[in-house]
Amino acid sequence: MPIYKMGGKKDGKKQYRVRINYVDQFGKPRQIDRVAYGSTEAKDLERKLSEEIKKTPPAARKTLKDLYDEYIEVCKSELRETTWDKKRRTFEHTIIPLVGDIKLDKFNVVAAQKYKSDILALGLSPATSSTYIKVLSTMINYAVRMEYIPKNPLRQIGGYKTPEFAVPEKKVRYYTSDEFLRYIAVAKQRAEASGDLDEWGYYIFFMLAFYTGMRKGEIHALQWADIDGNVIKIRRSISQKIKGKRETELLVKTLSSVRDVQMPQPLVAALDDHRKRQQIMAGFNDHWFVCRGVGCLRDSTIEKRNQAFAEAAGLPHRTIHEFRHSHASLLANSGINIQEVARRLGHKNVTITWNTYSHLYPREEEHALEILNKIV
């Protein structure tokens, strides 16, 4: 009997426990336990609960697209806005077109293996292909946590093995110090010729990118108040990639991205000159110091200037992010401790830095042998 009389009372009505036992879509016994006061109220509650169980479709009958719609909203409160937007685009551009119509309870090991094969057919690198497996797997793990399904079939399939003689990933591209001096001379000449504050902004942007290794969003977010002598305090980032927004100010990427970076004298002098120039040409504006008064210089426009500067200097094109590589590569080639390089870049883990730049460190076999030869 699903209704049990208990000893309590409320407003003169006896207390009843309403208990409904049922079996879910996985054959697992479930129970709903509620309290009601009054015999009539208890019977009404029993009928209501029984009807809800019958008419509620099993969660496993959701499609993966239905699950995505729910999951991506949950992620909004758990991820940085730029990370959330990147995840959204990954799902909507690649993953959902491949698996969106599959019912959740039909997404078994066979379906998971087919998804793996479909990703492989896109011709992506093993590392990128593995990322698409991991991103979908996080959503399926969510479904398991919500008890929509009992387990994640993606855990039962293997990853992507890099072929023994595979073509290696592209090496890091960067400017040497001599190449950068040729590049930045062109940027400065064009700024001087135009006399335009925006043109000086491009010059300062690339000075900062090379001499500090900052991410472009971190450069966009800098304020004059973030500069203390020869130290830049990096605390914020600005993204221009979030759909429907011109620019969004965020916290920096990770806790390790919060850092103080010392600047070399050429950059300190360039910033001092730019601050005076800004005060004369536009009045003091603390908020955007490499930007126009209305907001950041656009990434697309910065990249166009970047290409023009490189071409005029007779240099190969390097992307904005590769100026960050240039900074790190210069330090690595000079034998600077890998932990200091990682700290300046704001890397969460020194392993990231080592995997990217270790091949640039000078070999010290002769020095090592010299030390060992002394042990006699």
DSSP states of 56-116: SPPGGGSBHHHHHHHHHHHHHTTS-HHHHHHHHHHIIIIIHHHHTTSBGGG--HHHHHHHH
- Asked which of 75-79, 86-90, 207-211 is least confident by mean pLDDT, the reply is 75-79
What is the predicted pLDDT for the residue at 15? Answer: 86
Q: What is the domain count for the chain?
A: 3
What is the predicted pLDDT for the residue at 74? Answer: 87
Q: Which residue has the higher pLDDT, 281 or 68?
A: 68
Q: How far apart are CA 74 and CA 230, in angstroms?
A: 42
Q: What is the pTM of this model?
A: 0.62
Residue 240's CATH number: 1.10.443.10
What is the predicted pLDDT for the residue at 166? Answer: 43
Mark whether 125 and 45 lie in a shared domain: no
| Domain limits for position 145 | 64-156
Mark whether 105 and 249 lie in a shared domain: no
What is the predicted pLDDT for the residue at 161? Answer: 62
Mark whether 111 and 133 lie in a shared domain: yes
- Asked which of 52-56, 225-229, 296-300 is least confident by mean pLDDT, the reply is 52-56
Three-class DSSP category at 227? strand
- Taking only Cα atoms into account, the Rg of the chain, rounded to an integer number of angstroms, comes to 30
pLDDT digits (tens, 9 = 90+) for 246-299: 455 555 556 778 999 999 999 999 999 998 888 887 665 565 556 555 556 788
Nearest to residue 361, comparing CAs of 336, 325, 343, 341? 336
Residue 181 has pLDDT above 90, yes or no: yes
Asked if residue 244 belongs to a domain, the reply is yes
Last residue of a domain, one of 156, 189, 217: 156
pLDDT digits (tens, 9 = 90+) for 140-153: 999 888 888 889 99
Question: Both tokens of residue 157?
Answer: 């399939």
Asked if residue 367 belongs to a domain, the reply is no
Question: Using CA of residue 260, residue 262, residue 267, residue 273, what is the dihedral sign?
Answer: positive
Mark whether 222 and 350 lie in a shared domain: yes
Q: Which residue has the higher pLDDT, 69 or 7?
A: 69
**DSSP bridge pairs for 30:** 22
